[in-house]
Amino acid sequence: MDILQFFYNMTNILWGTYGFQTLFYFSLILIITLEKEKIIRARWFGYCGCMLLMIYNPIMYFVFIFIFGTGSGFIPYYCRLFCLIPIVFVIAYAVVLILQKKSGWKKFCCTLLMLFIIAISGHSAYGESWFIKASNVNKVPADVIEICTFFPESASCIPIMVPTDLTVYMRQMDSRFSMPYGRNQNTDISNQLQSEAQNIELILDYAVETETDYIVSLYTEELLAQYVNWGCEVIGITDKYMVLKQHCPKHISMVAETNITWKNTR
């Protein structure tokens, strides 16, 4: 049932209403019916059919989980399979086939009808909830822009750890940010910073070991209290995240303290 629910939610995200999806399937039927060349019919229907079978396939679902895990990056990677389906081209080709069968005022009326169907089946980008977020020049989440304002311009390098959802955007906004892991590296730490249940000691151990001064974490009152209790300083708080500075608390694990001592005496 979890797989069926996943397929249902993913379809709603990418197809929207059933109107656009129905238009695509109806276009495939029109191509099979109106196209005289068998090889062309086979190409359109065969390719689209194979892509749909690959997407709505439990085997592919488990393959993607094995490759990408179940983190926040799983759904975006899986949804990119939809780009393999020539949805717009199928609809456009079916429209051309219909117009070829008509002439004069009938062709004009068919054109208006097709434009009307496409218009009511789609969604205006200006009405979507994400439009305001995507309208900024850098196309990054508002939290990232606000986090950048917490740091002075005089700093030449800012060692920082950030949650998974912000990893891609931080260096895009400011090249001074230096992270101890890349986009697909040490995802355990970055995923923990995105979670409400964090192992604070493990995160601070890693921060001390990699000489990372600043930590960006998901903001909750409980997490904030835990970080402060471990000796961290609050630099700033946004709607979803908080920026902290770790000062190598005395009660941090001995492993991290040993690593720091060894690095200073090298």
Q: Write the burial class of residue 56 (CB in 10 Å: 0-12 exposed, 13-18 middle, 19+ buried).
A: middle
Q: Of 210, 211, 200, 205, which Cα lies nearest the Cα of 255? A: 205
pLDDT tens across 219-236, in order?
999 999 989 888 888 988
In angstroms, the CA 172 to CA 162 distance is 13
pLDDT score at 250 = 46
pLDDT tens across 154-166, in order?
778 888 888 888 8
Give the H or E element holding residue 178.
strand 177-178
pLDDT score at 128 = 56
Contacting residues for 212 by C-beta, under 8 A, at least 6 apart? 159, 160, 161, 179, 180, 206, 246
φ/ψ of 78, rounded to 5, equals: -70, -40
In angstroms, the CA 145 to CA 160 distance is 15
Q: What is the DSSP string of 224-242?
A: HHHHHHTTPEEEEE-SSEE
Q: Residues 130, 132, 138, CA angle at the centre, nearest 5°?
A: 100
pLDDT score at 241 = 92
- Residue 243's SS3 state is strand
233 within 8 A of 204, measured Cβ to Cβ: no
Residue in the structure block whose two tokens are 């492993």? 255
pLDDT score at 257 = 47
Residue in the structure block whose two tokens are 């390098």? 157
pLDDT score at 172 = 77
Q: What is the DSSP string of 92-106?
A: HHHHHHHHHT--THH
Return per-residue pLDDT of the chain as tens, 266 residues.
577 877 777 777 777 667 777 888 888 888 888 888 888 888 888 888 888 888 888 888 788 777 766 665 667 777 777 777 888 888 888 888 888 877 888 888 888 887 787 777 666 656 655 555 444 556 777 888 888 888 887 778 888 888 888 887 887 787 788 888 765 555 678 888 888 888 888 888 888 888 888 999 989 999 999 898 888 889 889 888 999 988 765 444 444 444 444 444 44
In angstroms, the CA 241 to CA 216 distance is 7
